[in-house]
Amino acid sequence: MSRIYSLALLAILLLTGGKAESQMPAPGATLYTVRDLMDQDAKGVLKQIADLGYVNIEATNYQDGKFYGMAPAEFKAYLESLGLEPLSVHQGGVTLENADQYIADTRAAGFKYFVIPVPPMGMFKYDTKSRTMSMEGTPEAITSILNTLAAKCKAAGLELLYHNHNFEFVPDANGVVLLDYMLENTDPELVNFQMDLYWVTKAGADPLAYFEKYPGRFKVWHVKDMDDQGRFAPAGTGNIDFKRILAEKEKSGMQYYIVEQDMTFDGMQPMEAIQISYDNLKTLGFRK
């Protein structure tokens, strides 16, 4: 946590008699939104994100033991020099064989959350023609993998989260809803979830129903909106009722939120999208 943000939080605690339950965490951004820009000038883009006002950072590029071409300690130090916090990292390439190295580097970079963004180890399938996602394998298999990886993460001082898309809400041939199965067959002391509010909505599910049924399990939210065509949109410019969802953040277990936009449309640039989202966070209630 940056020194400025820590002092601000301390002031809030003093003014509220030590009660911070209703306070919002600092705004977060995933680097997936600006992934192409990061490939060109990672340090320059991170500086722009810090200048916008974001604090918590989610990485999505880890290759050959480096984050965006930087060794874990270098990446952590550079973020800290900008007042940014390494919060979470998507580690879609993790396997049971390479997990120890992935976890060690994630820890060395200062991250808190090790996120599984899709079913790992070849279980995730994407059809380029229909642009649909699915899983090849059984709920039992992926749940076993998550439990094993989560135990390794906990031993290293990390927390494991699973990030949803929309296919996890579609009943399989046996009528099993994958997300529900994972929630019901993982230990909440080890495995929790990063709820992507767009994809939950895209699936026709209600986030509040999941908060009610599985309270405390959704530690981080991905915040992005949906336009009239069902496409990704900056927060506050689409049809998702964030205020309704945010009213139940305590029940959900949300500790942090992260702005994301997988793709932009109609000439909008990725950096423009996350700036619009940041500006709208105040109106939506995500920041003061």
State how far the Cα of 119 lies from the Cα of 250, in Å rounded to an integer.
Answer: 28
List, in sequence order, every residue forming a beta bridge with 163; answer none if it has no partner. 194
- This prediction has a pTM of 0.91
Count of other CB atoms within 10 angstroms of residue 30: 27
* Cβ atoms of 38 and 49 closer than 8 Å: no
C-alpha angle with apex 69: 261 to 94, nearest 5 degrees? 70
For the CA atoms of 246, 248, 253, 254, the dihedral, rounded to the nearest 10 degrees, stands at 0
Pick from 201, 258, 210: nearest CA to 230: 201
Domain spans, the chain: 23-284
State how far the Cα of 107 lies from the Cα of 116, in Å rounded to an integer.
Answer: 15
State how far the Cα of 60 lies from the Cα of 35, in Å rounded to an integer.
Answer: 8
Q: Tell me the per-residue pLDDT of 163-212, one tens digit each, with 9 for 90 and over.
A: 999 999 999 999 999 999 999 999 999 999 999 999 999 999 999 999 99
User: Cβ-count burial of 58 within 10 angstroms (0-12 exposed, 13-18 middle, 19+ buried)?
Assistant: buried
Render the chain in DSSP notation, one character per residue.
Answer: --HHHHHHHHHHHHHTTT--TTPPPPPEEETTTTHHHHHHHHHHHHHHHHHHT--EEEE--EETTEETTB-HHHHHHHHHHTT-EEEEEE-TT--TTTHHHHHHHHHHTT-SEEEE-S-TTTTEEEETTTTEEEE-S-HHHHHHHHHHHHHHHHHTT-EEEEE--SGGGS--TTS--HHHHHHHSS-TTTEEEEEEHHHHHHTT--HHHHHHHSTT-EEEEEE-EE-TTS-EE-TTSSS--HHHHHTTHHHHT--EEEE--S---TT--HHHHHHHHHHHHHHHTS--
User: In the prediction, which pLDDT does 188 show?
Assistant: 95
Q: Tell me the per-residue pLDDT of 250-283, one tens digit each, with 9 for 90 and over.
A: 999 999 999 999 999 999 999 999 999 999 999 9
User: In the prediction, which pLDDT does 207 show?
Assistant: 98
User: In the prediction, which pLDDT does 20 show?
Assistant: 43
Count of other CB atoms within 10 angstroms of residue 202: 17
Residues of the chain below pLDDT 70: 1-22
The CATH superfamily label for domain 23-284 reads Divalent-metal-dependent TIM barrel enzymes (3.20.20.150)
The torsion angles phi and psi of 81, rounded to 5 degrees, stand at -65, -20
